[in-house]
Amino acid sequence: MTAERVSPALRDWVDAQLAAGQPAQVLFRAMLDSGWSRAVAQAALEGDEGGHVQATTSAGRREGSRLPGLPAWTDHRGRIMVEGHPVDVLLRSEWPRLVVLGGFLSPEECEGLISEARARLRPSETVMGDTGGSEINAARTSDGMFFARGESPLCQRIEARIAALLDWPVSHGEGLQVLRYAPGAQYRPHHDYFDPDLPGSGRILQRGGQRVGTLVMYLNTPEAGGATTFPDAGLTVHAVAGHAVFFAYDRPDPATRTLHGGAPVRAGEKWVATKWLREAPFA
Ligand code: PD2
Ligand code: ZN
């Protein structure tokens, strides 16, 4: 662990920018781009002028370590080509670090994933913090299954597209998970990272380290309900077939504003595929 101080010069700069009406999240990003750690940037914004702040995460991961993310460039309509496949960047947010993508999967790919997953669905489980095992939980009332990484040609194609889009190796991804929500089913707000302070997390973190990003891909359009919500950011992403939402978190901390949930499906079914990215190879 190292400690860094918010310098008076940084504090003065933040004060001047805030007085000029710059939004806090823009300043936060500017400080990161200038090489300040997240802890210092946050402390500077919170007016924590003189105190020492931790410059490493509670999981011990270095601040400023690389994160999966989109290339900064798009064409003038927000389109990027990923392995010959056009993807539309519909929304980009800095805090939380999040993008909404249109046309990430084709209709054939959505239908293909559903048909490969359907017969293997089981009631979804959630990780138990005390043991690292999993259990059926009222907070998550979907059915789900996991593919092994690279299990089918379709999984391989989608995994290669995700790796190219986010500049993150296929080896650092968990296998694709497919979820089906029936009417009334939901996934209550949660964080996808593992809480390093819970006793069960140690065992999980041994395999691939922390999760650092989540891509939720919508495989159909529910008749009503089923949006993915980000309560700390006031964001709602509608579930539309082929669209996807990606968000990254550089540390296991609610300050990443990545709390998110699947709102109850009100009519029809909702199908999604989720890809979680780890900081190290997931074998
Ligand atoms: O299905 C969703 O919208 C959703 C919401 C929250 C999926 C996940 N989390 C997930 O798979 O982690
Ligand atoms: Zn989640």
Task: Give helix 24-33 / helix 8-19 axis angle, nearest 10°.
Answer: 140
Mean pLDDT of the region 247-273: 96
The response to whether residue 17 sits with its C-beta less than 6 Å from ligand 1 reads no
175 shares a domain with 121: yes
Query: Is 274's C-beta closer than 6 angstroms to any atom of ligand 1?
Result: yes
- Classify residue 196: in a domain, yes or no: yes
**124 token code pair:** 């979804």
Buried b (16+ CB within 10 A) or exposed e, 174-196: bbbbbbbbebebbbeeebbbbeb
Answer yes or no: do 264 and 195 share one domain.
yes
Nearest residue (CA) to ligand 1, atom 9: 261
Question: 83 is written with which tokens?
Answer: 């392995």
**If you search the block for the tokens 């009503």, which residue do you land on?**
224
The pair of structure tokens assigned to 188 is 């209550």
Residue 272 Cβ < 6 Å to ligand 1: yes
Residues 108, 185 within the same domain: yes
Q: Which domain holds residue 204?
A: 79-278
Check residue 130 and give left, alpha or beta (phi > 0: left; psi -120 to 50: alpha).
alpha
Interval 121-166: pLDDT, tens: 998 876 665 666 655 566 688 899 999 999 999 999 999 999 999 9
Which range has the worst mean pLDDT, 30-44, 154-168, 198-212, 238-252?
Answer: 30-44
- Least confident range of 17-21, 50-54, 118-122: 50-54
Sign of the C-alpha dihedral computed for residues 102, 104, 108 and 111 taken in this order: negative
Instruction: Tell me the CATH number at 208.
Output: 2.60.120.620
164 φ/ψ angles, rounded to the nearest 5 degrees: -70, -40
Cα of 43 vs centre of ligand 1, distance in Å, is 31
- pTM summary value: 0.77
